[in-house]
Amino acid sequence: MGRIDIHERIRDSHRLRAAQGRLRQRRTVTRRDGVRLEVDGQWLTGFCGNDYLGLASQFEVGAALQDAAAREGTGAGASHLVCGHHALHAQLEREVADWLGVPGALLFGSGFAANLAVQQALLEDGDVCVQDRLNHASLIDATRLAGARLRRYPHLDAEGAMRQLRGTGEGAAMLATDGVFSMDGDVAPLRSLALVARTSEALFYVDDAHGAGVVGPQGRGSVADAGLGVADVPLQLVTLGKALGGYGAVVAGDADLIEHLAGTARPYIYTTALPPALAAASLAALKLARRDDWRRERLRELVAQFREGASRFGLELMSSNTPIQPIVCGSEASALAMSAAIERAGFLVTAIRPPTVPEGGSRLRVTLSALHTPQQVQALLAAIADARDRVDHGREALA
């Protein structure tokens, strides 16, 4: 028998995804002005990004980026352990550690790389990582790439996590969860999970990509909001590309664990360091995020407005009080049709389909920013309700 032809495999995969309504296409943004985006020659109001605090286009952040690039150039030039570790990297790590109230922090090029680094450096064959079933793909992939056993518990079920940790042998154990879940917008029961981790002798790791900057005192995230510290959560991840509006990620927590990651984690050692100018931008954004409580207050007001308005329109919401407000559509076809109708009304809200979400859970993932206005939120709600009615009555051609 001959080998499997990879091109034929790709064609089969494409045909299947097309039949399921799961083909994905990139949309090119020509220009951006706050929450407004020009896509394919049309200006749209975006409600699908992660710039929760509106810092990506903030003047002071952009100025910090430009000033640092003018002084330091466009790249770090090497990995951190060779000669790429810049003073701006070190300053950003110290600032994040101070913000979160933990001993140490380590900067990575992306949240995906950071999650892989944590598990690859701390887990071995025979160890186990127990995870929430709806954790981000990077956490799940990291366990597989680390060679550890992956066990998953029902969403938000601390007792389920305890059951999965029982009888896992004498190897090391890690309990890992999102803080705020990226597709549902709900928050993990961190206090209960911390107790489970402690009684099961498992290291507790929280990926707080969508919580940091948004929830908790000074936006310190879901761990601080739950009243937990480094003794309860030895490691947590803070992304720089969501509420802080930049790029990269920071793992923060126990000093010994951070030192071990810096010396052994392959995704840290064997890659070029983040450009110093991006670190400078994140430093400026972090200072604003810590100081500007009005941004979080604006978000809370918009979330309350959206949920109240959605209820009046009879839209099906999920249990979320964060800026992530999914509208459940059910089928891929319905989600695509509603997204297209909303775009014709002037709004960009992406349809999220399996495998990103469970089967039958296709949705419009609405996300709110401190830059949105109440008028924009109200207009979006009316557009979603109209799109829902059109699809329900069969007047909208399904994609």
Other beta carbons within 10 Å of 59: 8
5 domain-assigned:
no
Confidence label for 396 from pLDDT (cuts 50, 70 and 90): very low
Question: Residue 176: what are its φ and ψ, rounded to 5°?
Answer: -125, 135
Whether residue 281 is found in the same domain as residue 298: no
Residues near 237 by Cβ (< 8 Å), separated by ≥ 6?
Answer: 111, 114, 115, 118, 205, 206, 207, 208, 209, 249, 250, 251, 252
- Asked if residue 378 is part of any domain, the answer here is yes
For the segment 316-327, the average pLDDT, to the nearest whole number, is 93
**Same domain flag for 252 and 114:** yes
CA–CA separation, 85 and 370 (whole Å): 33
Work out the pLDDT band at 27, boundaries 50, 70, 90.
confident
pLDDT greater than 50 at residue 65: yes
Look at residue 48 and tell me if it is in a domain.
yes
- Indicate the residue among 221, 256, 291 that finishes a domain: 291
Q: What is the pTM of this model?
A: 0.93
The stretch 23-43 carries a mean pLDDT of: 90
Which has more confidence, 393 or 31?
A: 31
In a domain, 277, yes or no: yes
Distance of CA 180 to the CA centre of its chain: 8
Do 25 and 150 have their domain in common? no
* Residue ranges making up the domain that contains 320: 21-53+293-392
Q: How many CB atoms lie within 10 A of CB 296?
A: 22
User: Which of 270, 291, 312 corresponds to the end of one domain?
Assistant: 291
Q: Taking 60 as the threshold, does the pLDDT of residue 220 lie above it?
A: yes
Same domain, residue pair 70 and 38: no
Per-residue confidence band for 395, with pLDDT thresholds at 50, 70 and 90: very low
pLDDT tens digits, one per residue of 139-184? 999 999 999 999 999 999 999 999 999 977 789 999 999 999 999 9
Among the candidates 247, 276, 291, a domain finishes at 291
Same domain, 356 and 215: no
Residue 205 forms part of a structural domain: yes
Q: What percent of the chain has pLDDT over 70?
A: 98
Q: d(Cα 118, Cα 204) in Å, to the nearest integer?
A: 11
Is there a single domain that holds both residue 373 and residue 359? yes
Residue 111 annotated as binding?
yes
- Mean predicted confidence (pLDDT) in 127-138: 97
Is 107 within a domain?
A: yes
Residues 239 and 321 grouped into a single domain: no
Q: Which pLDDT value is given to residue 300?
A: 97
369 and 278 part of one domain:
no
Least confident of 296-300, 370-374, 391-395: 391-395
Please tell me the least confidently modeled range out of 144-158, 199-213, 278-292, 379-393. Answer: 379-393
Claim to verify: residue 116 and residue 200 sit in the same structural domain: yes
Region 199-222 average pLDDT: 97
- 1: in domain: no
Cβ atoms of 214 and 243 within 8 Å: the answer is: yes
Instruction: Give the count of domains, the chain.
Output: 2
High-pLDDT (> 90) share of the chain, % = 83
pLDDT for res 193? 98
Chain-wide mean pLDDT for the chain? 94
Q: What CATH number corresponds to the domain at position 129? A: 3.40.640.10
Is 24 within any annotated ligand binding site?
yes
Task: Judge whether 303 lies within some domain.
Answer: yes
pLDDT tier for residue 2 given thresholds of 50, 70 and 90: confident
The reply to whether 136 sits in an annotated binding site is: yes
Quote the CA–CA distance of 338 and 270 in Å, as a whole number: 44
Given a contact cutoff of 8 angstroms between Cβ atoms, the answer to whether 366 and 306 are in contact is: yes
210 in a labelled binding site: yes
Pair 302, 284 in one domain: no
Q: Are residues 262 and 302 in the same domain?
A: no
What was the pLDDT predicted at 355? Answer: 84
- Say whether 356 counts as a known binding-site residue: yes
- The CATH number of residue 349's host domain is 3.90.1150.10
347 is in an annotated binding site: no
Residues 114 and 132 occupy one common structural domain? yes
Q: Is 30 annotated as a binding residue?
A: no
The C-alpha atoms of residue 187 and residue 178 are separated, in whole angstroms, by: 8
Closest to 338 (Cα-Cα) out of 294, 295, 390, 382: 390
User: How does residue 43 score in pLDDT terms, banded at 50, 70 and 90?
Assistant: very high
**pLDDT band per the 50, 70, 90 thresholds, residue 312:** very high
CB neighbours of residue 161 within 10 Å: 27
Residue 12 predicted with pLDDT over 60: yes
Residue 112 annotated as lining a ligand binding site = yes
